[in-house]
Amino acid sequence: MARTEVVVLGSGFAGLETAFRLRARAGEDDVGITVVSDRDDFLYRPGTVRLPFGAAEAPLHVPLAGAFRRRGIGAVIATAEGIDLDRGQVHTSRGRMAYDRLVLATGAASRPEEIPGLAEHAHSIAAAGALHRLGEDLRWAAQHARHGRAQRVLFALPPGNQCAAPLYEVALMLDTWLRRKQIRDGVEIAFDTCEESYVQAFGPKLHELVSRQFEARGIEGRTAATLAKATERSAVFADGSVREFDVLATFPPQVASVHYSGLPCDERGFLRCDPLGRAVLGRPEVFGPGDAGDFPLKLGYLALLQADAAAGAIAAQRRGTTLSAGPSPVVRQVLDLLDDAAFAQIPLAPGDDPARVDESSSRYWVSTGAFWRAGARLAEAALSARFRLGLPFRAGSGWGALGRAPGRTRPNTDNLVERP
Ligand SMILES: Cc1cc2nc3c(=O)[nH]c(=O)nc-3n(C[C@H](O)[C@H](O)[C@H](O)COP(=O)(O)OP(=O)(O)OC[C@H]3O[C@@H](n4cnc5c(N)ncnc54)[C@H](O)[C@@H]3O)c2cc1C
């Protein structure tokens, strides 16, 4: 049988897990894999929330050249510019490449321009550079507060963002950071979200947990507060209310990083995919795992699950087998609070809405405790180590570290079953 040439665009969670998982399933004689990315490393984005509070950025970057060499995976540093579906070619800034199977794992980008003034007056938490700048402004705010000039820091989550949790994380971390500096009294923290409940995508238990945290920490939160406009010092909401601020932080609306013409997508450019193996609808040779796809929740955790599904589907196509659905996925999320941590295990319900929380499930639970920080850092270290070696994360023991607490361990299950 001729070798299947697989081209993977993107070196994030989804692209790398797909490439490494596929290589673990098939040798070089069977499947040729080439990763095309505009960067030569992997950035562990969940860790970037610590940057405003003095954490170093370098450990979040995992070099990939050795991993690709070790696993016989081709690597091209280039920008993907488009695809020719009829010819089976990708157009990149360094020329064209032919593929038999194409994995579009180019993720999501921010579009702050959807809200007037947001790009000019708010700090985005979407990129590492912007988080460093947020840290600089927070240090100034802390300095002013120390000198008796009261400060207001506002967090605003606008519509169109599908990854709310990290903004809550930064707000809660800020509270701890200010307390440690003994200047918390000089800084008001407010959190306005367009959601109907806090971290709405994760259901009522997360709402209750965040409400308790906000109350205990003196963070003034509002739900159903839709940001309409930002000016230099004030945020204007759809209901006409106005909040003054000294520092405004946001996670802007998201869109697909790359628009691939000829492929079906939703109104934000996210690829319409078959939930089972993440093949793009009507295009069984093209896959859209991770943030690039239309799953209404953008998480690294889900990107890994979807990447495994895509790798499984590509391997199954080569073998002539088919996939059928296993149990619905269970999401795990840690909110780092610097002094403490909150953990949520969120089972998703089967049915038409892929991101509906199964609220009645006994597997739906939340918990707080500093040990969750340790679990999250262990999972982070394990993922970096596995990617450095060119190995898929989910096949390793580190995957289970996220969500392991005495008496509550339950390994996450694959959401796919391969059948001959
Ligand atoms: C501050 C923050 C905190 C977060 N915290 C968590 C968390 O705690 N838990 C969690 O599960 N998720 C978290 N997330 C979400 C998580 O980071 C994303 O869901 C995840 O990165 C998606 O992975 P991906 O591979 O689909 O996309 P990405 O990680 O965005 O990777 C996309 C890749 O494509 C490349 N690329 C893009 N465009 C092109 C192009 N034109 N040509 C070539 N290459 C291109 C990029 O360089 C990158 O390598 C957080 C996100 C942020 C911003």
pLDDT digits (tens, 9 = 90+) for 265-300: 999 999 999 998 999 999 999 999 999 999 999 999
Average pLDDT over residues 46-68: 97
Quote the domain boundaries for residue 204. 116-253
Instruction: Report the candidate in 233, 232, 243 with the shortest Cα–Cα distance to residue 193.
Output: 243
Over residues 108-153, the pLDDT tens digits come to 999 999 999 999 999 999 999 999 999 999 999 999 999 999 999 9
Residue 409 lies in a domain: no
Predicted local distance difference test score (pLDDT) of residue 407:
40
Q: Are residues 47 and 91 in the same domain?
A: yes
Residue 235, strand partner residues: 230, 243
Q: In a mutational test of the pocket of ligand 1, which residue from 40, 90, 96, 163 has the highest number of ligand atoms less than 8 Å from its CB?
A: 163
Rg (the chain; Cα; Å)? 22
Average pLDDT over residues 378-390: 96
Distance from the alpha carbon of residue 291 to the mean position of ligand 1, in angstroms:
7
Nearest residue (by CA) to ligand 1, atom 20, is: 300
Residue 347 lies in a domain: no
Copy the structure tokens of residue 284: 């069984």
Predicted local distance difference test score (pLDDT) of residue 396:
62
Domain closes at, from 222, 253, 284: 253
Residue 172 lies in a domain: yes
pLDDT above 60 (res 403): no
Give the angle subtended at the CA of 292 by the CAs of 289 and 293, to the nearest 5°: 60
Q: Judge whether 311 and 304 are in contact, CB under 8 Å.
A: no
Domain count, the chain: 2
Domain closes at, from 274, 307, 327: 327
Distance from the alpha carbon of residue 112 to the mean position of ligand 1, in angstroms:
17
Distance from the alpha carbon of residue 145 to the mean position of ligand 1, in angstroms:
35
Q: Ligand 1: which atom is nearest the Cα of residue 376?
A: 8
pLDDT above 90 (res 27): yes
In the chain, the percentage of residues whose pLDDT exceeds 90 is 89
Tell me the pLDDT band of 157, cut-offs 50, 70 and 90. Answer: very high
Q: Ligand 1 pocket by C-beta < 6 Å: which residues?
A: 9-15, 36-39, 45-46, 48-49, 79-80, 105-107, 125-126, 163, 166, 257-258, 290-292, 298-301, 303, 333
Mean pLDDT of the chain: 93
**What's 146's domain CATH number?**
3.50.50.60
Residue 40 lies in a domain: yes
Residue 194 lies in a domain: yes
CA–CA gap between residue 144 and residue 149 (Å, rounded): 5
pTM over 0.85: yes
Tell me the pLDDT band of 408, cut-offs 50, 70 and 90. Answer: very low
Q: What is the dihedral of CA 302, 347, 198, 191, to 10 degrees?
A: -30
Residue 236, strand partner residues: 229, 242
Distance from the alpha carbon of residue 63 to the mean position of ligand 1, in angstroms:
16
Predicted local distance difference test score (pLDDT) of residue 322:
83
Q: What is the length of the chain?
A: 420
Average pLDDT over residues 248-253: 98
Q: Are residues 97 and 123 in the same domain?
A: no
pLDDT above 90 (res 397): no
Residue 230, strand partner residues: 235
Q: Are residues 235 and 295 in the same domain?
A: no
Q: Are residues 36 and 162 in the same domain?
A: no
Distance from the alpha carbon of residue 39 to the mean position of ligand 1, in angstroms:
12
